[in-house]
């Protein structure tokens, strides 16, 4: 299935919701340190409910380790600066959907990394800053999964 990659997430509730998203869609969740929380955080556990044991979650010490674990894969970096709409991508199983930290999004060096296949954006009304991280990941994962008729093959 698909792989969600959160680069240095900051808010435990968003990651908890992404754990739940991974569990119900069969996606894998990959997190790049440093994390803005620990896995004992009550907000993370509450947002993930009892789905923690049903999700595949991997924590990587840095982006290079994540690339090594996920390669070879196409990587779609979600950013407001993306040239391609999320619905214009023909997703393939194994694709990586990359999202940046809540406060600042993906830094330029990550968006320009050689592993990134394309910069992708979710449409929003003008003069709006951004979507919530977990909501953005959900929109992307469900579009990718929809294109594959919601196949039930686990990650």
Laid out side by side, the sheet with 3-7 consists of 56-60, 28-32, 3-7, 96-99, 75-78, 118-121, 84-85
Q: What is the pLDDT of residue 49?
A: 57
- Contact of 12 with 36, CB cutoff 8 Å: yes
- In angstroms, the Cα distances linking 151 to 22, 75, 93 are 14, 21, 10
Q: What is the pLDDT of residue 153?
A: 60
- The Cα–Cα gap between 2 and 120 comes to 16
Closest CA to 7 of 59, 49, 72: 59
Q: What is the pLDDT of residue 120?
A: 98
Burial class (CB in 10 A: 0-12, 13-18, 19+), 103: exposed
- Report which secondary-structure segment, H or E, holds 141: helix 133-146
Q: Residue 130 annotated as binding?
A: yes
Q: Residue 122 annotated as binding?
A: yes
Mention the CATH class of domain 3-146.
alpha beta
Q: What is the pLDDT of residue 155?
A: 43
Following DSSP, what letter does each residue of 76-140 receive, concatenated? EEE-TT-SEEGGG----TT-EEEE--TTT-S-HHHHT-TT--EEEE----TT-----HHHHHHHH
pTM of the model: 0.93
- Domain-by-domain residue ranges, the chain? 3-146
pLDDT tens, per residue, the chain with 155 residues: 899 999 999 999 899 999 999 999 999 999 999 999 887 767 666 655 577 788 999 999 999 999 999 998 999 999 999 999 999 999 999 999 999 999 999 999 999 999 999 999 999 998 888 899 999 999 999 999 999 999 886 44
Contacts of 88 (CB under 8 A, 6+ apart): none
Q: Residue 149 annotated as binding?
A: no
């Amino acid at each position: 299935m698909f792989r969600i990659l959160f680069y240095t997430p900051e808010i435990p509730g968003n990651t908890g919701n992404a754990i739940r998203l991974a569990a119900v869609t069969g996606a894998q969740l990959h997190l790049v340190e440093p994390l803005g929380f620990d896995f004992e955080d009550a907000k993370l556990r509450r947002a993930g409910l009892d789905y923690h044991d049903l999700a595949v979650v991997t924590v990587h010490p840095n982006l290079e380790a994540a690339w090594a674990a996920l390669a070879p894969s196409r990587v779609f970096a979600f950013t407001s600066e993306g040239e391609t709409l999320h619905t214009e991508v023909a997703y393939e199983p194994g694709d990586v959907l990359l999202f940046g930290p809540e406060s600042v999004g993906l830094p330029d060096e990550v968006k320009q990394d050689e592993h990134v296949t394309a910069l992708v954006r979710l449409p929003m009304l003008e003069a709006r800053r951004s979507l919530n991280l977990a909501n953005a990941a959900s929109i992307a994962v469900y579009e990718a999964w929809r294109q594959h008729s919601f196949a039930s093959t686990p990650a």
